[in-house]
Chains A and B, each alone.
Chain A
Amino acid sequence: MELTDLTIKQAGAGLSEKKFSAAELADAYLDKIENENEKIFAFLGIDRGGALDQAKTVDEKIKKGEALPPLAGIPMAIKDNLMVDGMRCTSGSKILENYIAPYDATVVKKLKQNFAVILGKTNMDEFAMGSSTETSAFGPTRNPRDPERVPGGSSGGSAAAVAGNLCVAALGSDTGGSIRQPACFCGVVGLKPTYGAVSRYGCTAYASSLDQIGPLAKTVADAQTVFEAIRGADPMDGTAVDFQGRSEEKNKYRIGIPKEYFIEGIDPQIEAAVKKRLAEFEKQGNELVEVSLPHAEYALACYYIIATSEASANLARFDGVRYGFSHQDAKDLADIYSQSRGRGFGSEVRRRIMLGTYVLSAGYYDAYYVRAQKVRSLIKRDFDRAFEIVDAIVAPVSPVLPFKIGQIVDDPLQMYLADIFTISINLAGVPSLALPCGMAGNLPVGLQVIGKHFDESVLFSIGRSLEAIA
């Protein structure tokens, strides 16, 4: 077994049994990135010095026989919309091309406190707006399972880094599916935690009522380890809370299958793989029941009103004045704003800012924004009602298999439809765990286990059983 094939659990065991040192482990990943990143383009930046320093600190602690947390010495990658003090933090955008993070995001601070080794920053769709990592201003990431295809997005760099063995685990962010869909496309595990489970301090805001940071990893157990390290209240994010799971873990579960998620248009190979895995799960004594989420058909329209509204406000901070790209050849201050933003933002980001500005503008607010927020409460109610009768819901992550680079990048609506199974979850604020459930040819297929608010422990329990069927 290669050092770069390991899970968190295996790497942690190897370190404590002194089979290899944390420095050797970090070196193995850094070398692999050096050799292979050009091909996959998962990483935008590497911190060799910082990674090796942290690894040496861990090695000294191991030498002294100190008790260490499970992430100690584990090489990890961080999505480039999360601040790592002193490292470039571009959010995939030209407007932040030279921006150096002046502090650590809370999740990064927590990883450092757990002695994780941060290898570098991963590529992403610009400001997390995209489903393929093709909107990155720095070029697309390739899917390690098939380099002609996209890794999904927006956390495509993190997913590709985990799948390509360029790190053991990674952090991503998920506003409408941006952890789960790339995890699915790359055949790894990804968790979108409950809204409020993880602090968003130090994450570049896209749509603040939907954004949530979470792990991408090789196994359900690894995703749980990372989640346990980053979760919890934070004085810097008023929405982040400490919590206890609402439900008990059980041996057998009652699983809801939403009929609206198995519809015409879904790739038949995806439907077959998800249903096959569920049939096995049923044979083990779990119960499957059909549930209905009747407002699912409105989720995408609802999402594109709410997310773009919030984005148009959040991205107003990029003004070319205080930091980031600044077009200096301008006649006055207003011209600096519009020229810096017009040239600094890529076309998808501008499109979403325009849409958000329009739906919030005078005369349209009630017709779009208020209506969308009403529909959002109906979408959440659908989940609340389903969870009265089931422990969790299982559905496909994506209606389509990983598509080819360039295939739909010029068709915004088609790209938005790639998120059709993931966005309701963000609108309702519930957690969802995506994991592989088989292959369609050489391409991975994923399912997601959706739970009640703050029921991550139940999702991990179900996820471990579904994973073990493979």
Chain B
Amino acid sequence: MLSKEETQHIADLARLGLSDQEIAEYQKDLSGILDYIDKLRAADTEGARIFTHSIEINNVMRSDVKEQRSREDLEKLRKQMPQTKDNYLKVKAIF
């Protein structure tokens, strides 16, 4: 069973602002799910390789050059920004 403090710590790591009631709910839910996924302990993984990809894949390379995008494209992105100032994205102070 996860403790309330552990559950709060996970929420903090994930940058999820949750109420006390939500923390209590996730504490219960996650404990139940973790109990279920603990059944993996029973699997014999002796000698099993760590899975990386299901198919053979190769690196895809491109030249490291600046891509010129249209003003229209940039405008599409700018319009989605929650706050802007002088055509820049505006963010809150870090401290």
CB distance from A347 to the nearest CB of B (A): 8
Flag if B55 contacts A194 (CB, 8 Å). Answer: yes
B33 close to A (CB within 8 Å): yes
User: Which residues in chain B, 28-50, are within 8 Å of chain A measured between CB atoms?
Assistant: 29-30, 32-34, 36-43, 45, 48-50
With a CB–CB cut-off of 8 A, which chain B residues contact A330? 92
User: Which residues in chain A, 209-234, are within 8 Å of chain B measured between CB atoms?
Assistant: 209
Flag if A351 contacts B55 (CB, 8 Å). Answer: no
Interface residues on A, range: 35 or more
* Closest Cβ neighbor of A352 among chain B residues: B33
Contact of A361 among B10, B38, B45 (CB under 8 A): B10
A301 with B94: in contact, given A342-B17, A351-B26, A354-B11 (CB under 8 Å)?
no
User: Which residues in chain A, 433-466, are within 8 Å of chain B measured between CB atoms?
Assistant: 453-454
CB distance from A230 to the nearest CB of B (A): 17
- Chain B 44-79 near chain A by CB (<8 Å), digits 1 or 0: 010011111111011110100000000001001101
CB distance from B44 to the nearest CB of A (A): 8
CA distance A322 to B10 in the complex (A): 24
A100 with B39: in contact, given A238-B60, A375-B48 (CB under 8 Å)?
no
With a CB–CB cut-off of 8 A, which chain A residues contact B52? 373
CA distance A110 to B11 in the complex (A): 40
User: Which residues in chain B, 5-36, are within 8 Å of chain A measured between CB atoms?
Assistant: 7, 10-18, 22, 25-26, 29-30, 32-34, 36
CA distance A316 to B62 in the complex (A): 26
A351 with B93: in contact, given A295-B43, A342-B16 (CB under 8 Å)?
no
With a CB–CB cut-off of 8 A, which chain B residues contact A430? 54
Flag if A336 contacts B92 (CB, 8 Å). Answer: yes
Flag if A375 contacts B45 (CB, 8 Å). Answer: yes
CB distance from B17 to the nearest CB of A (A): 3
Chain B interface SS verdict (over half): loop
B3 close to A (CB within 8 Å): no
A355 close to B (CB within 8 Å): yes
Interface stretch among A39-47, A165-173, A261-269, A376-384? Answer: A376-384
Interface stretch among A13-21, A117-125, A364-372, A390-398? Answer: A364-372
With a CB–CB cut-off of 8 A, which chain B residues contact A342? 16-18
With a CB–CB cut-off of 8 A, which chain A residues contact B26? 350-351, 354
CA distance A321 to B91 in the complex (A): 7
Flag if A361 contacts B13 (CB, 8 Å). Answer: yes
CA distance A195 to B57 in the complex (A): 11
Q: Which of B14, B40, B43 has the most CB of A within 10 A?
A: B14
* Closest Cβ neighbor of A348 among chain B residues: B29
* Closest Cβ neighbor of B14 among chain A residues: A357
With a CB–CB cut-off of 8 A, which chain A residues contact B62? 235
With a CB–CB cut-off of 8 A, which chain A residues contact B18? 342, 350
With a CB–CB cut-off of 8 A, which chain B residues contact A372? 40
A332 with B93: in contact, given A301-B40, A339-B17, A341-B16 (CB under 8 Å)?
yes
Q: Which of B7, B22, B43 has the most CB of A within 10 A?
A: B43
A421 close to B (CB within 8 Å): no
CA distance A429 to B11 in the complex (A): 31
CB distance from A183 to the nearest CB of B (A): 22
CA distance A206 to B38 in the complex (A): 23
A298 with B82: in contact, given A332-B93, A332-B95, A374-B50 (CB under 8 Å)?
no
Flag if B77 contacts A328 (CB, 8 Å). Answer: no
CB distance from B49 to the nearest CB of A (A): 5
With a CB–CB cut-off of 8 A, which chain A residues contact B41? 371
CA distance A345 to B14 in the complex (A): 12
Question: Given A305-B40, A342-B18, A430-B54, list of 7 further CB < 8 A pairs?
Answer: A241-B55, A295-B43, A305-B37, A331-B92, A338-B17, A358-B34, A380-B54
Ranked nearest first, the 10 interchain pairs of A and B with the lowest CB-CB distance are A429-B54, A342-B17, A326-B82, A338-B17, A323-B80, A238-B60, A376-B51, A301-B37, A374-B45, A374-B48
